[in-house]
Structure 1
Amino acid sequence: MSTPQENSHIDRSFNRSMLVKLFVVAALMFGFGFALVPMYRAICEITGINNLVQRDVSAREAKNTQVDMSRTISIEFDANARGPLEFKPEQHSLDLHPGEVTTVMYEVTNEQNRTVKAQAIPSYAPKQATEYFNKIECFCFTQQTLAPKETKRMPVVFVVDPKLPKDVKTITLSYTFFELDAPKQAAN
């Protein structure tokens, strides 16, 4: 049988050994955490995934590989206004390749001597083109506030999906600008 003093000495020795092992494991884990960043960068550089060290391609060098250069689509622009607004596209048509990102400008003028809030609603012809005409930026996404006699130039940035059916050769984009909260006419 062992004495209590021998047991105490064995327990202390075991505790010291365990503490040293735990300290070594903690130090290795801490070092591994620091080593992960350079390892991640090296793996990404070797595989080409999420490469953080390459410079970005400039806009001049970038090419959209989704553009279908084999065909051309004609886009026609139409504008209608309901209320005290004059509204028109700056160009009435253009030809483009499906997949090209394109910007066109519309102009709206408030002809009143009061501030006008308005909203544009788009429509497309033929109807089947609707799902292939993707607007990236458009004044129709938000309400427009026009000061008295103010004129605004507003962009529409869009892309026609290359999956557009081959039989569609022309798309008409039409906007109707509606005045919101129009003043009530006095009844006679």
Structure 2
Amino acid sequence: MNSENRKLLRKLVVIAVAMFGFGYALIPVYKHICEVLGINVLTQKDGTVAPPENTQVDRSRSITVELDSNVQGTLRFRPTQSSVTVHPGEMVTVVYEVVNSQGRVVNAQAVPSYAPQSATPHFKKVECFCFKQQTLQAHEARQMPVMFYLDPQLPKEVKTITLSYTFIEIGGLAQSPQPAGAAAAGGTARL
């Protein structure tokens, strides 16, 4: 290896080490700059992590959401709590429980309703068992969450909202699994 190649190799190694050192030094420099400017500060002075705050929550207002349930069919259906107090913009999860006490599979769908009617466009569900049909096996019990928030634009005169679900059995009797050969014989088994 000639001397010019060795000089070039040394220069390249020095440049690579300097680049690595510069990149390594950027992390504490960036943290210090962000701390001084108050940008993206996730840790407090005592070292604990500050949870992010939802600035869209209106803590000046409290709304009572009453939970109600009705059933059309043979299921037992109820909320696990009768009401919850929320601030507009706050994410809340409530749970409803359904029990199929029958010895057969049941298909059902939950239909929501709201009172007063003026609250309906401001009641925002993120997750709900009412979005799809539920199939409950014989003697199955299930807890189903509803995750929602109230739009901060909810009229100021609304202090209480009733969220009511009617759980409706659909499709009549659900078919039970057919024993092998039943389909070939042209028979359908129903419970």
Q: Give the TM-score of the pair, scaled to structure 2.
A: 0.65
Max Rg structure: 1
- Structure with bigger helix share is 1
What is the CA deviation profile of residues 6-28 of structure 1, one whole-angstrom value per residue up to 9, with x for unaligned ones?
xxxxxxxxxxxxxxxxxxxxxxx
Q: Offset at 1:183? A: 3.0
Q: Which amino acid aligns with 2:68?
A: D
User: Is residue 123 of structure 2 the alignment partner of residue 133 of structure 1?
Assistant: yes
Same amino acid, percent of matched pairs: 58
- State the number of aligned residues: 172
Partner SS for 2:102: coil
Residue 173 of structure 2: aligned partner: 183
Q: Runs of 4 or more off by more than 3 Å in structure 1? A: none
2-side partners of 1:101 and 1:117: how far apart?
Answer: 29
Residue 38 of structure 2: aligned partner: none
Residue 67 of structure 1: aligned partner: 57
1-side partners of 2:137 and 2:170: how far apart?
Answer: 14
Partner SS for 1:134: strand
CA contact (8 A) 2:95 2:143 kept: yes
User: Is residue 79 of structure 2 the alignment partner of residue 84 of structure 1?
Assistant: no
Partner SS for 1:168: coil
Residue 35 of structure 1: aligned partner: none
Q: Offset at 1:170? A: 0.3
Unpaired runs of 5+ residues, structure 1, are 1-56
Unpaired runs of 5+ residues, structure 2, are 1-49, 175-191
2-side partners of 1:111 and 1:77: how far apart?
Answer: 22
- The correspondence of residues 36-185 of structure 1 with structure 2, limited to 5 A, is 62-183=52-173
